[in-house]
Amino acid sequence: QVQLVESGGGLVQPGGSLRLSCAPSGSIFMFNTMGWYRQAPGKERELVASINSGGSTNYADSVKGRFTISRDHAKNTVNLQMNGLKPVDTAVYYCRVTHVDTAYWGQGTQVTVSS
């Protein structure tokens, strides 16, 4: 069973930065795609950014130029550097990874952007 441990969320002022990290515990696989999703109150969960095993990335239009996703193959971790944060970025952020045809989700970490 794969458990994902997320860290780095918190409260930040508009224009500020946060870095989210996601690391697996338990059984360790080499994951195919690793990514971050978010869900704001009253809204559906949406893709923020993803990165595949070859390093190709995909971003939501709303975060392009502000967020950067990266992965460390040796540590099997995925990070999300978030700069220029806006109040609309406020949400619970979830890590998601895939191994073969199975997806695993983290518990989520709250990101609040407010003055």
Q: Specify the 3-state DSSP secondary structure of 88.
A: helix
Radius of gyration of the chain (CA): 13
Report how far residue 22's alpha carbon sits from residue 4's, in angstroms, rounded to the nearest whole number: 6
In angstroms, rounded to a whole number, what is the distance separating the alpha carbons of residues 34 and 94?
A: 11
Bridge pairing between strands 57-59 and 46-51: antiparallel
Q: Which residues of the chain are modeled with pLDDT < 70?
A: 27-28
Asked if 85 contacts 18 with a C-beta cutoff of 8 angstroms, the reply is yes
109-113 and 46-51: which strand pairing? Answer: unpaired
Q: Name the residue among 44, 29, 42 with its Cα closest to residue 94.
A: 44
Share of the chain above pLDDT 90, in %: 83
pLDDT tens, 64-92? 999 999 999 888 899 999 999 999 999 99
pLDDT score, position 34: 95
